[in-house]
Amino acid sequence: MFEEYTMSELTSIFAMQGFAGLILFSVLVLMALGLAIIFGQMGVINMAHGEFMILGAYITYLTSIVFSEHLPDLFSGYFFLAMILAFLGSFFLGAFVEWSMIRHLYKRPLDTLLATWGLSLILQQLYRTIFGAREVGVSIPDWMMGSYPITDLIEVPINGIFVMVLTLFISLGVYLIMFKSSLGKQTRAVVQNRDMAGAVGINTEKVDRYTYAIGCGIAGIAGSAFTMIGSTGPTAGQLYIVDTFLVVVFGGASNLLGTIASAFTISQAQSTLEFFLSGSMAKVLTLLTVVGILMLLPQGLFALKIRR
């Protein structure tokens, strides 16, 4: 299929394709990090994860409206504030949900699936009632939407770079929280042995609430960032949920590094396949490969070594 193209064209296309894979990678990591904390660390199957993301997107939308109406001069920078607000909004909703629902269900992880599914239905309808059934268009500052030409063929989308940088920061932040802060250490202690952690004086309830809320908050940031690349509507969150779970499970749920490795594998596989096959078949093949590998490595790519 390549005979008709020159060498330089091919090189630049492959460079572009590699870059597309990296963007997809960042998107997957952003989607999955929050869930990796909630599902991987706490064992809560949060089916409303997509709806928390969309909450972030709607908050971004509201911020953009406020800025364009009242502070048009500062519009080009509103996005940073929007992301912080998105984090806070999802964080507090997450804390509330943990307090009212999730904490009663820690002993029954599969039941969290059903309860959060109910929650996702309610949130969807809530968005629809408030914002209308139609999608909303979030206007992004101009500087974020263009592309940066390197050669004739290679053009680097700025929003792609933005998502990549953001992913880097968030991953770093999560790493610091989970492995360096006392909250992270407590969280991991609670995950490994709840009773023991309680016995040594860790307030497990508080730790649970913060952990869940942080996971939701990260989902909110992801949703905010996705207004640059995707749609914002009441049901848009459902588009992400399967992929997100698969990334987390494929990486070995309890391992944050695994999540990143799995996002990398899946994104590279998908973007390579997409180039040679049609979109639908690429998706099917990627998912099949993931399921196949999961059958061989049932605990995911990076599992904690526990004999079951």
Partner 1 sequence: MSTISFRSLLSKNDIFGFVALVILIMILLPLMLDIFRLNLIGKYLTYAFVALGLVMCWGMGGILSLGQGVFFGMGGYCMAMFLKLEASSPEQTAIQSTPGIPDFMDWNQLTELPWFWLPYNSFGLTLISIILAPTAFAFIIGLAMFKRRVGGVYFAIITQAVAAILTILIIGQQGYTGGVNGITDLRTLHGWDIRTDAAKYILYYLNALLLFVCLFGAQIVRKSKLGRLLVAMREREDRVRFSGYDVANFKIFVFCLAAMFSAIGGAMFTLQVGFMSPSFVGIVPSIEMVIYCAVGGRLSIFGAVYGTLLVNWAKTSFSESFPELWLFAMGALFIGVVMAFPNGLAGVYSSYFHTYVERFFQMLKQQFYLKFLSHKTV
Partner 2 sequence: MMHLEKETRTSNGCRRYFMKTVVALPLAMLFGSTALAVPGTAEINTTGLAVTDTTVKVGILHSVTGTMAISETGSVQAEKLAIEQINAMGGVLGRKIEYIQEDGASDWPTFAEKSKKLLVKDKVAAVFGCWTSASRKAVLPIFEQYNGMLYYPTFYEGLEQSPNVIYTGQEATQQIIAGIDWVVKNKGAKKFFLLGSDYIWPRTSNKIARKHIDKLGLKVVGEEYYPLGHTQFNSVINKIKLKKPDVIYAIVVGGSNVAFYKQLKAAGIDMTKEKPIVLTISVTEDEVLGIGGENIVGAYAAMKYFQSLDNANNKAFVEAFKKRWGDGIVIGDVTQAAYLGPWLWKAAVEKAGSFDIDKIRAASPEIELPTAPEGYVRIHPNHHLWSKTRIGHARMDGQYDIVYETESLIEPDPFPKGYQ
Radius of gyration of the chain (CA): 20
What CA–CA distance (Å, rounded) separates 24 from 214?
23
Residue 122 sits in the site that holds partner 1 (CB under 8 A): yes
Q: Give the footprint of partner 2 on residues 115-134 (CB under 8 A).
A: 124-125, 128, 132-134
In 3D, which of 141, 136, 175, 144 has the Cα closest to residue 37? Answer: 175
Instruction: Give the range of 9-17, 40-48, 80-88, 102-110 binding partner 2 by CB under 8 A.
Output: 9-17
Give yes or no for residue 137 binding partner 1 (CB under 8 A): no
Should residue 47 be labelled a site residue for partner 1 when binding is judged by CB under 8 A? yes
Based on the shown chain and the rule CB under 8 A, indicate whether residue 74 belongs to the binding site for partner 2.
Answer: no
Closer residue to partner 1 (CB): 86 or 266: 266
The yes or no reply on residue 280 touching partner 2 (CB under 8 A) is yes
**Contact between 130 and partner 1 (CB under 8 A)?**
no
Q: What tokens appear for 159 in the block?
A: 């929003």
| DSSP 3-state of 1 | coil
Q: How far is the CB of 292 from partner 2 (least distance, A)?
A: 20
Site for partner 2 in 171-230 (CB under 8 A): 226, 228-230
Sole window of 73-81, 103-111, 188-196, 234-242 interacting with partner 2 (rule: CB under 8 A): 234-242
Contacts 24+ apart (CB under 8 A), 103-106: 103/205, 103/208, 103/209, 105/44, 106/42, 106/43, 106/44, 106/194, 106/208
What number of other Cβ atoms are within 10 A of residue 95's Cβ?
A: 17
Give me 216's structure tokens: 């939701």
User: Looking at 34, 56, 160, 217, which residue binds partner 2 (CB under 8 A)?
Assistant: 160
Determine the Cα–Cα distance for residues 211 and 174; give it in Å rounded to an integer. Answer: 11
Nearest alpha carbon to residue 162 among 150, 144, 141, 140: 144
Note whether 121 binds partner 1 by CB under 8 A: yes
Q: Which residues contact 84 (CB under 8 A, 6 or more apart)?
A: none
By the rule CB under 8 A, 113 interacts with partner 1: yes
- State the chain's maximal CA–CA distance in angstroms: 70
> Residues interacting with partner 1, by CB under 8 A?
39, 43, 45, 47, 101, 104-105, 108-111, 113-115, 117-122, 124-126, 128-129, 238, 241-242, 245-246, 249, 253, 278, 280-281, 283-284, 287-288, 290-291, 294-296, 298-300, 308
